[in-house]
């Protein structure tokens, strides 16, 4: 039996990926006027097209869904047209890209919301976190609880955003159900104290995430639909008293919907992998399609987990920032460049498209 490697092709639904390395979503705050992804964004992603799959930076499904300045949207024609430049750049180089669909919920600021309104959330509980707005990191604003009759509109915004993404040429979409944003806020009892059909029990708290996923599947098909979850990450002030029960149930239901992949942040987002006890292999067993593992992976860890059958694909995040040719560097053993943290968020080409490939 041939030993699997990260550099062999992989079948993801109807797509044949060149390798098992995924570029994880990376917010870079460089959208232009109208929150449009422009030519510079196309250059950036095109440089990284050798990844087996690129998952785009988080992209808001509506103005209400925005939480940070200069992040792109997918709810206007100009935004669709801008993203089409990106997908064309990827496809011309033989790559594949999914768009990550995002509603931040309470992780926002009144200066970003329509008419200066309060951000929305499952419950009126302020997140203990900051956001990036007006060129500074500031505390998020106090949210208001969504009315029951507003939730169908949220679902429809995700549905329409998925349709817009396909119109823009994306190979599929990833629903952002992780990192303390809206769908994760509903799933966690630290942020959801509702007493209606969307709060209380494990099943009720999962309802919005599953309704969104079902709507996206109905709109664009299961083989074009993935989702990202982060069961124990405390990102953006999120918490849960029962993550194993909550996410075992969620993954069972996601598997029943037949979506093409499950993307799991194992541990604290961008932090330690062992922040809390959790059986991630339980999620792997429960999900019958592709499992993408994320958080702290390097070549050695990813290779060993692939050999052990713990995941199918492996997401690399920040290493892709300074290494547009990360796949080639990993395969050849070339050294990895280090990113400049001062140019991580906002700005122009510096620290974005000017990192060279390895000579």
Q: How far apart are CA 355 and CA 353, in angstroms?
A: 6
Per-residue pLDDT, 272 = 87
d(CA 76, CA 159): 14
Structure tokens belonging to residue 305? 């987990």
Question: Count of CB atoms within 10 A of residue 155's CB?
Answer: 16
Give the separation between CA 93 and CA 84, rounded to whole angstroms: 14
Q: For residue 2, what pLDDT is reported?
A: 52
Question: Which residues contact residue 102 at a Cβ distance below 8 angstroms, ignoring those fewer than 6 apart?
Answer: 58, 59, 60, 61, 65, 71, 176, 181
Q: What is the largest CA-CA distance in the chain?
A: 61
Bridge partner residues of 173 (DSSP):
99, 225
Question: 122 near 145, Cβ under 8 Å?
Answer: yes
Residue among 84, 36, 87, 44 nearest 60 (CA)? 36
**Residue 137, beta-bridge partner list:** 132
Per-residue model confidence (pLDDT) at position 1? 37
Active site residue 75: no
Spatial separation of the C-alpha atoms in residues 339 and 358, rounded to whole Å: 14
- Residue 256: other Cβ atoms inside 10 A: 11
Model confidence, pTM: 0.97
Q: What is the DSSP letter of 124?
A: S
DSSP string, 207-239: HHHHHHHHHHHHHH-GGGEEEEE-TT--GGG--
Cβ atoms of 217 and 225 within 8 Å: the answer is yes
pLDDT in tens, the chain (359 residues): 357 899 999 999 999 999 999 999 999 999 999 999 999 999 999 999 999 999 999 999 999 999 999 999 999 999 999 999 999 999 999 999 999 999 999 999 999 999 999 999 999 999 999 999 999 999 999 999 999 999 999 999 999 999 999 999 999 999 999 999 999 999 999 999 999 999 999 999 999 999 999 999 999 999 999 999 999 999 999 999 999 999 999 999 999 999 999 999 998 898 889 888 999 999 999 999 999 999 999 999 999 999 999 999 999 999 999 999 999 999 999 999 999 999 999 999 999 999 999 98
Instruction: Determine contact, residues 32/242, Cβ cutoff 8 Å.
Output: no
Please give the structure tokens belonging to residue 226.
Answer: 């993935």
CA torsion through residues 130, 135, 136, 140, sign: negative
Residues 134 and 127: their CA atoms lie apart, in Å, by 19
Choosing from 44, 181, 261, 291, which is the catalytic residue? 181
Structure-token pair, residue 108: 């926002």
Distance CA 250, CA 271 (A): 23
> Which superfamily is assigned to 10-343 in CATH?
Aldolase class I (3.20.20.70)
Cα distance between residue 16 and residue 27, in whole Å: 26
């Amino acid at each position: 039996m041939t030993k699997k490697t990260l550099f062999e092709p992989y079948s993801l639904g109807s797509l044949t990926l060149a390798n098992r390395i995924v570029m994880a979503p990376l917010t870079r705050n460089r959208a232009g006027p109208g929150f449009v992804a422009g030519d510079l964004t196309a250059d950036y992603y095109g440089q990284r097209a050798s990844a087996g799959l690129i998952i785009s930076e988080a992209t808001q499904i509506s103005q209400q869904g925005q939480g940070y300045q200069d992040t792109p949207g997918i709810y206007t024609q100009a935004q669709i047209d801008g993203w089409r430049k990106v997908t064309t750049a990827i496809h011309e180089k033989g790559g594949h890209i999914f768009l990550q669909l995002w509603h931040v919920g309470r992780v926002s600021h009144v200066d970003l919301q329509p008419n200066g309104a309060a951000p929305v959330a499952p419950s009126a509980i302020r997140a203990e976190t900051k956001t990036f707005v007006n060129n500074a990191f500031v505390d998020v604003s106090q949210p208001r609880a969504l009315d029951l009759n507003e939730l169908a509109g949220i679902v429809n915004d995700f549905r329409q955003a998925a349709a817009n993404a396909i119109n823009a040429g994306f190979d599929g979409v990833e629903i952002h159900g992780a990192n303390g944003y809206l769908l994760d806020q509903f799933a966690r009892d630290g942020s959801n104290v509702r007493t209606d059909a969307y709060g209380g029990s494990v099943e009720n708290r999962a309802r919005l995430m599953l309704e969104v996923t079902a709507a996206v599947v109905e709109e664009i098909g299961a083989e074009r639909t993935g989702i990202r979850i982060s069961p124990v990450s405390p990102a953006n002030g999120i918490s849960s008293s029962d993550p194993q029960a909550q996410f075992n149930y969620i993954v069972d239901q996601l598997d029943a919907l037949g979506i093409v992949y499950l993307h799991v942040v194992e541990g604290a987002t961008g932090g330690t992998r062992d922040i809390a006890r959790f059986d991630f292999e339980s999620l792997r067993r429960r999900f019958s399609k592709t499992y993408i593992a994320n958080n702290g992976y390097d070549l050695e860890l990813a290779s060993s987990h692939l050999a052990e059958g713990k995941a199918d694909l492996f997401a690399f995040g920040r290493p892709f920032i300074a290494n547009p040719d990360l796949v080639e560097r990993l395969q050849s053993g070339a050294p990895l460049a280090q990113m400049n943290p001062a140019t991580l968020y906002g700005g122009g080409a510096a620290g974005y498209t000017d990192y060279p490939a390895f000579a």
